[in-house]
């Protein structure tokens, strides 16, 4: 949320303060977690809840309101704006993704009563995914540069206080947003109908099962199923039903992610308002 401040903030809550310790604990949990990106999103929401509570402390407000903390506050403002932008962009990408899924769902529902050729509809969906992936790739590059800047702005571990912790909060938040965006990006292997069959041929049989399991997650699983329909003169009712059920499940997952991102966005907005009030 903020870059490291060069002013020693000994007047701010120290690392040993219960709330500060709580933020540090959640940062450590997020960094060490091997959970899915979606689960990390829940952890990120909890992290920003704790940051919000830290800002409510009279001691924090008094310390950051003092004149010598102006530079710190300015850096925190910049960091909070970066996170708001990153969260909003990630949320917008998922909103666009949901629209693409809903359009394809509608197409499949209209043709559900009979065997049909759905290649054009699937190809249109994949083309939309490709365009979206180009945008994601560009923005992920921006997030990586922001994250690198956060990493380079090192804070002396002996004096890590609110300003230093918020730098770490910004860094881990950008990492989660980047991972989330990457999870819905269309890779080159998935953008070709022959992508999965080629992988299957190259892998030893004992590895195929684990790779199938890896592919059988959310967006990737749906991409594989849809790519298998391209080139077919007719799609059976069983295939149509299976793909439609997969699209409905994917839409539900995207909506849950949108809700989580909206919750995080509101928490980030509250934190920015708190900073503004301290500066007033």
pLDDT digits (tens, 9 = 90+) for 165-214: 888 899 999 989 998 888 888 765 455 444 444 334 433 443 333 333 34
Q: Is the pLDDT of residue 51 over 70?
A: yes
Whether the pTM exceeds 0.95: the reply is no
User: What per-residue confidence (pLDDT) applies to 153?
Assistant: 52
Element (H, E) at 236: none
User: What per-residue confidence (pLDDT) applies to 217?
Assistant: 61
User: What per-residue confidence (pLDDT) applies to 150?
Assistant: 66
Give dist(CA 233, CA 119) in Å, integer.
Answer: 8
The stretch 92-113 carries a mean pLDDT of: 89
**Looking at per-residue confidence, does 264 or 194 come out higher?**
264
**Dihedral angle of Cα 182, 184, 185, 188, to the nearest 10 degrees:** 120
* Residue 181, Cβ density class (10 Å: 0-12 exposed, 13-18 middle, ≥19 buried): buried
- Kindly state the percentage of the chain with pLDDT values over 70: 74
Of 78, 193, 96, 194, give the one whose Cα is nearest residue 136: 96
The stretch 72-80 carries a mean pLDDT of: 83
Q: Is the pLDDT of residue 237 over 50?
A: yes
């Amino acid at each position: 949320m903020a870059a490291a401040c060069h002013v020693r903030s000994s007047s701010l809550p120290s690392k040993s303060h219960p709330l500060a310790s709580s933020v540090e604990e959640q940062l450590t949990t997020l960094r060490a977690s091997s959970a899915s990106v979606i689960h990390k999103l829940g952890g990120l929401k909890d992290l920003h809840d704790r940051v919000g509570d830290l800002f409510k402390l009279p001691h924090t407000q008094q310390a950051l309101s003092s004149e010598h903390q102006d530079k710190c506050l300015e850096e925190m403002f910049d960091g909070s704006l970066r996170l708001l932008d990153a969260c909003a962009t990630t949320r917008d990408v998922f909103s666009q993704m949901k629209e693409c899924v809903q359009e394809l769902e509608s197409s499949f529902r209209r043709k559900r009563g009979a065997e049909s050729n759905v290649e054009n509809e699937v190809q249109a969906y994949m083309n939309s995914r490709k365009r979206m992936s180009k945008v994601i790739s560009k923005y992920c590059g921006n997030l990586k540069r922001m994250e690198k800047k956060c990493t380079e702005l090192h804070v002396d571990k002996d004096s890590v206080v609110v300003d230093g912790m918020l730098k770490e909060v910004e860094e881990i938040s950008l990492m989660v947003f980047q991972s989330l965006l990457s999870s819905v990006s269309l890779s080159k292997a998935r953008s070709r109908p022959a992508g999965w069959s080629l992988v299957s041929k190259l892998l030893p049989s004992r590895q195929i099962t684990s790779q199938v399991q890896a592919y059988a997650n959310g967006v990737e699983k749906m991409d594989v199923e849809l790519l298998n329909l391209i080139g077919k003169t007719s799609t059976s009712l069983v295939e149509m039903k299976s793909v439609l059920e997969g699209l409905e499940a994917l839409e539900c997952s995207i909506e849950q992610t949108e809700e989580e991102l909206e919750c995080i966005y509101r928490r980030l907005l509250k934190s920015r308002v708190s900073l503004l009030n301290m500066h007033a």
